[in-house]
Amino acid sequence: MHSVFRAFVRLAALAALLGVACAGALAQSPAWPTRQVTIVVPYPAGGGTDAIARSLALALSARWGQSVVVENPAGGDGIIGTQRVLRAPADGYTILMQVNQMLLYKAAQPNLNLMDDLKLVSMVQHSPLSFSVSTKFPGKTIAEFVAYCKTAKPACSWASATKYGQLIGNQFIDAAGLKGLVINAPYKGTAPMMTDLLGGHITMALPAVASGLPHYKSGGLRFLAVGSAERFKLMPNIPTLVESGYQVFGDSWYGLMVSKDTPQPVFNAIVDAVKAVSTNPALLASIESNAGQPVFSSPERFAADVAKESAYLNGLLTKYPLDPN
């Protein structure tokens, strides 16, 4: 009787161990996703962020064998769409594509800590800010723009469509000795800003290269300089602001993130899928055709880059505080 009991105990223990092992295997490789996944782009459809999200959605859909759709709940400088993701169940089925504009949310609204509620998946691409004028403008370099605006009557104007553009623009205007000599025209979106720039209603604008590319290709826009630390690989003929004599940097990135409460196995599945499609030729071609440079990264590298940039921007904010409106 005792031997039968001991055998039973051994079998029960073995079954328990097998159960734990199986559970661990499932946790490492979840059958996920089992239904449609949504990528939320909190900016209007048709922009640079939206275009990359749709290309990424196609690649991920093929990888997962599930539909991946893009939604554009725009408004509030991207806050509305970000909150939409945070209100959704933290199950990985709602993924956010954001830009570094979001690092300034807390500066504009101190009680808004959206970054604290998100877990970073991967950076996807970057595209530097451009310092752009209409081709009707008489100057072809940033030095000629500065010289022109120091004596222009009426005064020159410069435009920004995001808080990020406004911050970097303020830094440049100060460094160029144009503070008090030029007028800032803030816009609610890149499209109306570009319309007014091409129409001659403003002198200079600060769109990301990706946003200004269509007008650059059509011959209506001229890039005087870019804000990246080094010349942008896709446009090596355009000088940086540093080369032009100004220690000013402005570089926009696009990245994927999810709710911080997303289960780790699901988070890992998303990370693995993004890594797998990061070499997809069609996706890479789409990024580069939209004047972006692919920069897929690990969650750890993405978090480190964000922490470094946040510290840099916080330093700028002490000197160039943003208008909260």
- What per-residue confidence (pLDDT) applies to 77? 83
Contact 150, 181 (CB under 8 A): yes
For the chain, the 3-state helix, strand and coil shares in percent, each to the nearest 5, are: 50, 20, 35
Rounded CA separation 110/235 (Å): 37
**Range list of H helices, the chain:** 2-28, 48-64, 79-87, 105-108, 142-151, 163-175, 190-198, 209-218, 264-277, 281-289, 299-319
Antiparallel, parallel or unpaired: β 94-99 and 204-205: unpaired
Beta bridge partners of 160: 186
Closest among 242, 190, 235 to 217, alpha carbons compared: 235
Q: What is the Cα 64 distance to its own chain's centre?
A: 23
Antiparallel, parallel or unpaired: β 130-134 and 221-226: antiparallel
Beta bridge partners of 95: 39
- What per-residue confidence (pLDDT) applies to 325? 59
Plot region of 256 (φ>0 → left; ψ -120 to 50 → alpha; else → beta): beta
Q: What is the largest CA-CA distance in the chain?
A: 105
Domains and CATH numbers, the chain: 37-126+252-319 (3.40.190.150), 130-226 (3.40.190.10)
Rounded CA separation 77/128 (Å): 19
H/E run at residue 257: strand 251-259
Rounded CA separation 232/210 (Å): 11
Rounded CA separation 306/308 (Å): 5
List the chain pLDDT tens, one digit each, 325 residues.
444 445 444 544 444 444 444 444 434 445 899 999 999 999 888 777 888 999 999 999 999 999 999 999 988 888 999 999 999 999 999 999 999 989 998 876 777 788 899 999 999 999 999 999 999 999 999 999 999 999 999 999 999 988 899 999 999 999 999 999 999 999 877 888 999 999 999 999 999 898 888 899 999 999 999 999 999 988 899 999 999 999 999 998 999 999 999 999 999 999 999 999 999 999 999 999 888 899 999 999 999 999 999 999 999 999 998 876 5
Closest among 131, 207, 201 to 164, alpha carbons compared: 207
* Helices 2-28 and 264-277, axial angle in degrees (round to 10): 40
